[in-house]
Structure 1
Amino acid sequence: MKGYGYFGMMFFCLSVFMGSTGAQLQMGFYSSSCPNAEKIVQDYVNRHIHNAPSLAAAIIRMHFHDCFVRGCDASVLLNTTSSSNQTEKLAAPNLTLRGFDFIERVKSLLEAACPAVVSCADIVALVARDAVVATGGPFWRVPTGRRDGTISRSSEALSNIPPPTSNFTNLQTLFANQGLDLKDLVLLSGAHTIGISHCSSFTTRLYNFTGVGDQDPALDSEYAANLKARKCRSLNDNTTIVEMDPGSFRTFDLSYYSLLLKRRGLFQSDSALTTNSATLSFVKQLLKGSLQNFFAEFANSMEKMGRINVKTGTTGEIRKHCAVVNS
C-alpha cells in the first residue's frame, strides 16, 4: 500500500528505540518472586469483568493515558495529597477515567499473596489485556518488570494525552513523542471499537465547530442529526453517554474502521485518520484483511505501547497501595 515502506522503516527504527527503553521487561518476570501473580490477575478479571464489561474499554484507556505521561509507571493512579501538586487524575483528559477501584482490588490480592512484589504499573498492563480478552478481544503479550513512578502532575497529562479534538498533525506529534508511528496511531485508535464516550468530548462538532454555531462538515450529516436528536441535545451536555462504535460497541471488531470511511468517527481525532494518505491507506488495508490480522497487528502495537519509558531495576518503587506513594 502507499506509505507501507514508511511504516516499515519507522517500525524498525522505533522498535530499536523502544527495545532499549524496555529492555529489562521480560515475560514471566514474577515466575520466581510471585509465581501465581499473573493467574491471580487473570482469575479476578475473569470472575468480575462480566459484571461490568464496559470496564474493558475503560481500563485499556487508563493504560493508554498512563503510558503517555512519564511512561507506563502507574502515575495516573496517584491521588492528589497536597494543594501544591494536582496529580494526573485531576487533569481534564482523566476526569472520566474509570476502573481505579478494580485495579486496587487486584493489588490487594497480590499484596496478600506476595507483599511489595508486583507493581501497580504491571497490574494495569495485565488487567487491560485480560479484560479485553475476557470480553472477546485480542490477546497480546505483556512482558512485566515495570516499577511504579512517584511523580504525577496534571499539567503533564494535559500536554501529553491526545485530546479527542486533535487534528492529524497533533496526533502524529504526540504519538511520535512516545516513540509510536502512524501505524500504531491507526491500530491503537482501533480500541474505540469498544466503549462509550460522554457527549462533552465531541458536542463542539455538532453545535459550534468554528465558534459560529456550525457543525463539523467532516461529520456525516445523518449521523450528526441522529446524535443531536437522540443523544446529545445541547452543546453543554456533560452527562449523556454515547457508543463510540454504534451497534457494535461491545464487540472488538473492524466496524470502527468501516465507520471512519463513512465519516462517522465520533471524535475529531477519529476523523483525522482519514485526512492523511498513509493512515487512510492503512485503514483500508485493515478492512481488506481478516479480523485475525487486525488482532495480530493490534497486539503488536499494544505490546509496543506498554514498553514506553518503563521504569525497571531500582528506578521507582513497588507501591503498597496504587493511589499513594510509599511513605
Structure 2
Amino acid sequence: MNIVVRVICNVICAPEKPALELNAIINPTDDGIVDIPDLTGDSISRAFLHFSSISTEFAFKLLRSKSKRFYDASCPNLTRIVRYGVWMAVSNDTRMAASLLRLHFHDCFVNGCDGSLLLDDTNTFKGEKNALPNVNSVRGYEVIDNIKAVLEKVCPCVVSCTDIVTLAAREAVYLAGGPFWQIPLGRRDGTTASESEANQLPSPLEPLENIIAKFTSKGLNVKDLVALSGAHTFGFARCMMFKHRLFNFDGAGNPDPELDVMLRQNLENNCPNQDDSNNNFAPLDAYTINRFDNVYYRNLVNKLGLLQSDQALMKDNTTASLVVNYSRYPYLFYRDFGASMVKLANTGILTGQKGEIRKNCRMVN
C-alpha cells in the first residue's frame, strides 16, 4: 500500500484540555491516507517520529487487527477516558507520567501483563505491592483506580485493569513528549500474584549480564533492554539506589570512577553519606527532568548516568553501540522504544476465557 501522510493544521486543543486526540494521529482511512495533526514547533519531526515509532507494516497490521479495535463496540470512549485520566494525574503531579510507565513495566515483568501488581494483600493473600522492588516505590495505583471507576460507569465489566495500565503507560509517555504506538487490546486480568517473583525484578545494583538474562527469560532481547532503559529519561530515584556510587563503590571508600565528578558533587549535596538521606530523590535525567527524550543516552555517553545499571550499558560493546546510536538519533530511539513496548505489553498475557475482567482493580472478583 502506498501511504500518504497528510498534515492537518490548527488542531491543538485548548491548554486546559488534553493536548491531542491521539487516536486520530495514526488512523488510516479507506484510501490509505494517514492524518497526522500539526503539533506546532517541531511538527514535522514529531509527525515522523510518531508515525515511525513502530514499523509501517507492523503498524498497519495492528491497526487492521481485531485486537486493536477490541473495545470499539463495547467501550468506544476507552482511549479518551484513559487519556483524560492520565492528563489529570500528570497535571497534578508531573512525576506521575514516569510512575505510570514504571507501574506497567513492573506488572508485565512478573508473570506477564496481567494486572497482578494492582492486587492488594489480604489476610489470606500476599501479592506484589509489598515486594522489595515495589514497596514505597511503585506509584500510580490510584490513577488506575480512578480511570477504572469511570469506565465501570460507562461500560461496566468490559475493560480489564491490565489494558488500562497498558494504555495509561503509553499516554503518559506521549504526554511527556515521547512517541505514540499502537497497542493490541483484549488482555484479561490475572487472579493471582507472586511476591517472590516480584522480588526477582531487575535491580539497578545488579551486573548487566544478570539483567540481560532476566530480559531474555521474558522474550526480550538486548536491543529491547537498551530501548526500554530509555524510560529512565524521566522520573526520579531514591538515594539508596545509587549512593554507593558516591561514597563506597569499591568497598574502600572510593566513588565510582565511571561517574562524572561534577555530577557526583551535586548528588552528594542531596544525598549525604548518612542514613537519613536514603529516601531523598534525585532525577534520573537532571537536564530534561520531566520530558521523555533521548537525553538519557547522551548522559550515558558522558558518564552522567545516575544508576549503576544504566551506566553499565556503556561497558558492553553491543549495548554501548545502541546507546550511542540512540544518543545521536532520537527518531531511532522512539521507533525502537515503541516496538519494544509492544513486545513488553504482550508478555504472558491472558486472553479468551483465561483470567477475568476485574470490577475493582485491587481485588479479584
Q: Distance in 2 between matches of 1:25 and 1:175?
A: 29
1:204 Cα offset (Å) = 1.8
Q: Does 1:296 align with 2:327?
A: no
Partner of 1:57: helix, strand, or coil?
helix
Q: Pick the aligned partner of 2:363 from 320, 324, 327.
A: 324
Please tell me the root mean square deviation across aligned C-alpha atoms, in Å. 1.8
What residue in structure 1 maps to residue 249 of structure 2? Answer: 209
8 Å Cα contact 2:89/2:96 also seen in 1: no
Q: Does 1:273 align with 2:313?
A: yes
**Number of residue-to-residue matches in the alignment:** 301
Q: Distance in 1 between matches of 2:224 and 2:161?
A: 24
What is the TM-score normalised by the length of structure 1? 0.88
Give, as a single letter, the amino acid of the residue that structure 2 aligns with 1:292: Y
1:76 Cα offset (Å) = 0.7
Give, as a single letter, the amino acid of the residue that structure 1 aligns with 2:319: T
Q: Pick the aligned partner of 2:278 from 235, 238, 243.
A: 238
Give, as a single letter, the amino acid of the residue that structure 1 aligns with 2:182: R
Q: Gaps (5+ residues) in structure 1?
A: 1-14
8 Å Cα contact 1:25/1:145 also seen in 2: no
Q: Distance in 1 between matches of 2:328 and 2:256?
A: 28
Relative to its length, the structure with more helix (as a share) is 1
Identity %: 44
Q: Pick the aligned partner of 1:90 from 120, 130, 154.
A: 130
What is the TM-score normalised by the length of structure 2? 0.79
Structure 2 CA distance for partners of 1:235 and 1:312, relative to 1, 3 Å: farther
What residue in structure 2 maps to residue 35 of structure 1? Answer: 76
Write the deviation string for residues 203-224 of structure 1: whole angstroms up to 9, x where unpaired. Answer: 1222232434332222223322
Q: Distance in 2 between matches of 1:164 and 1:58?
A: 16
Q: Distance in 2 between matches of 1:75 and 1:206?
A: 36
Write the deviation string for residues 91-143 of structure 1: whole angstroms up to 9, x where unpaired. Answer: 11112111110110000001111111100000000011112212222111111
Q: Pick the aligned partner of 2:259 from 219, 222, 228.
A: 219
What residue in structure 1 maps to residue 226 of structure 2? Answer: 186
In the TM superposition, 1:1-327 aligns within 5 A as 26-82=67-123, 85-95=125-135, 96-159=137-200, 161-228=201-268, 230-236=269-275, 237-289=277-329, 291-326=330-365
Q: Distance in 2 between matches of 1:244 and 1:60?
A: 14
8 Å Cα contact 2:89/2:143 also seen in 1: no
Once structures 1 and 2 are overlaid, which stretch shifts more, 193-202 or 203-212? 203-212
Q: Gaps (5+ residues) in structure 2?
A: 1-57
- Considering only CA atoms, is the larger Rg found in Structure 1 or Structure 2? 2
8 Å Cα contact 2:85/2:143 also seen in 1: no
Write the deviation string for residues 223-262 of structure 1: whole angstroms up to 9, x where unpaired. Answer: 222211x210125223211010012111111111111111
Q: Distance in 1 between matches of 2:186 and 2:351?
A: 6
Partner of 1:92: helix, strand, or coil?
coil
Q: Distance in 1 between matches of 2:143 and 2:205?
A: 29
1:316 Cα offset (Å) = 0.7
1:87 Cα offset (Å) = 1.3
What residue in structure 1 maps to residue 55 of structure 2? Answer: none
With CA pairs under 8 Å and 6+ residues apart, which has the higher RCO, 1 or 2?
1
Write the deviation string for residues 169-190 of structure 1: whole angstroms up to 9, x where unpaired. Answer: 0111011011001111111000
Partner of 2:153: helix, strand, or coil?
helix
Structure 2 CA distance for partners of 1:135 and 1:210, relative to 1, 3 Å: same
8 Å Cα contact 1:203/1:235 also seen in 2: no
